[in-house]
Amino acid sequence: MPQNQQILLDNRPQGEAVASNFKLVVSETPALNEGEVLVRHHYLSLDPYMRGRMNDAKSYAQPQPLGQVMQGGTVGEVVESRSPKFAVGDKVVGMGGWQEYSVVPADQAGMLRKVDTTHVPLSHYLGAVGMPGVTAWYGLVKIIDPKPGQTVVVSAASGAVGSALGALAKARGCRAVGLAGGPDKCRYVTEELGFDACVDYKQHQDAYSLSKALREAAPNGVDGLFENVGGMCLDAVMLRMNAFARIAMCGMIAGYDGQPIPMAYPQLILVNRMKVEGFIVSEHMEVWPEALKELGMLVGSGKLRPRESVAEGLASAPEAFLGMLKGRNFGKQLVKLI
């Protein structure tokens, strides 16, 4: 069995996460038992939710255990199998974590899924046709539930979730407006992803200024908000929201370092009779097949053209992860392992 490089969570962050919170080790891969498969990971996924799990705090998921492999999504290839469900060479997606290989029980539901790479590149199963894409689908379809002609805004629009949200909204006849950081990301959002408008939040110092810019991008107000960031972005959009608007609360990256995130205009929830709903996509597995089918069609047809930021080699994962939390990535952040 091959030697396996792994990255562990060595200690918990005190405020901002740093590279020394992680530790690179080499371990022996255990021999397979009956019913298990050995997967060699081609890519691993870096996602904002991982920062919250580094804290030993109450949340919707258990904290990442110290001294264990950082948990997260992976795609790869079966290189050895002791299960009739998987053959050597099968391309699979799972939760193998920050390591080169994983041993997976094939009979355990939801641990490993075969994927078809004929029309969808393997890496996209960690982004547009994976958990981020399904996250966008659920928030839009099940919470915002927009009607044709309505305006939907998404923060972090150039990221893995935001880019899928735009394509899904356009497919439903909506006006899609993004918030992104920097002119290059805004150009990508409008020119490649097909959003109707994008506002560069980095050009604004406060929510009122950002809201004025949003007025031009969303002249008829905002009917639905898919929120990934919180803070100033949330405040600015709330100032533009219409009566009976819906907010799908997906992420609050502005508060991942543990700082409070004040809300400037909570009274607007009442004044505009808004619906505000947080959700965790892993609690809604029943929608994944329907969502993945639509997302796969959007990617296969070229209507969704996701961009990826790819770091090379397992050792690069911590710095790539920290950069993603600061918005340095462009699209879905991945680590390529082979």
256-311 residue pLDDT tens: 777 889 999 999 999 999 999 999 999 999 999 999 999 999 998 999 999 999 99
| pLDDT computed for residue 191 by the predictor | 96
| pLDDT computed for residue 198 by the predictor | 98
| pLDDT computed for residue 327 by the predictor | 87
**Token code pair at residue 285:** 């597995």
In whole angstroms, give the CA distance from residue 247 to residue 273. Answer: 11
**Token code pair at residue 236:** 């600015």
3-state secondary structure of 175: strand
**Token code pair at residue 46:** 């870096």
Domains of the chain: 3-127+306-336 (3.90.180.10), 132-282 (3.40.50.720)
- Residue 238: pLDDT band (50, 70, 90) is very high
| pLDDT computed for residue 110 by the predictor | 82
Per-residue model confidence as pLDDT tens digits over 109-148: 889 999 999 989 999 999 999 999 999 999 999 999 999 9
**Token code pair at residue 213:** 């810019």
Residue 149 scores a pLDDT above 90? yes
Residue 255 scores a pLDDT above 90? no
Residue 244 scores a pLDDT above 90? yes
Residue 22 scores a pLDDT above 90? yes
Distant-in-sequence, close-in-space partners of 213: CB < 8 Å, separation ≥ 6: 199, 203, 204
Mean of pLDDT values over 185-214: 96
| pLDDT computed for residue 222 by the predictor | 98
Per-residue model confidence as pLDDT tens digits over 155-165: 999 999 999 99
**CA 241 vs CA 109, 204, 214, 316, 328: distances in Å:** 41, 19, 11, 41, 29
What integer best gives the mean pLDDT of the chain? 95
Residue 59 scores a pLDDT above 90? no
**Token code pair at residue 118:** 């004929």
**24-38, 57-71, 297-311: least confidently modelled range:** 57-71
**Token code pair at residue 325:** 């939390």
| pLDDT computed for residue 57 by the predictor | 81
3-state secondary structure of 281: helix
**65-74, 85-94, 238-247, 252-261: least confidently modelled range:** 252-261
In whole angstroms, give the CA distance from residue 68 to residue 208. Answer: 44
Residue 61 scores a pLDDT above 80? no
Residue 249 scores a pLDDT above 80? yes
Map 33-71 to HEC letters.
CCCEEEEEEEEEECCCHHHHHCCCCCCCCCCCCCCCECC
CB-based contact 70:64 (threshold 8 Å): yes
Residue spans of alpha helices (H) in the chain = 49-53, 131-138, 160-171, 183-187, 207-217, 232-238, 267-271, 288-300, 317-325
**Token code pair at residue 30:** 């255990």
CA atoms within 13 A on the CB side of 297: 8
Helix (H) or strand (E) run with residue 312 in it: strand 308-312
Q: Nearest Cα to 194, choosing from 283, 333, 44, 303? A: 303
In whole angstroms, give the CA distance from residue 183 to residue 131. Answer: 27
In whole angstroms, give the CA distance from residue 318 to residue 314. Answer: 9
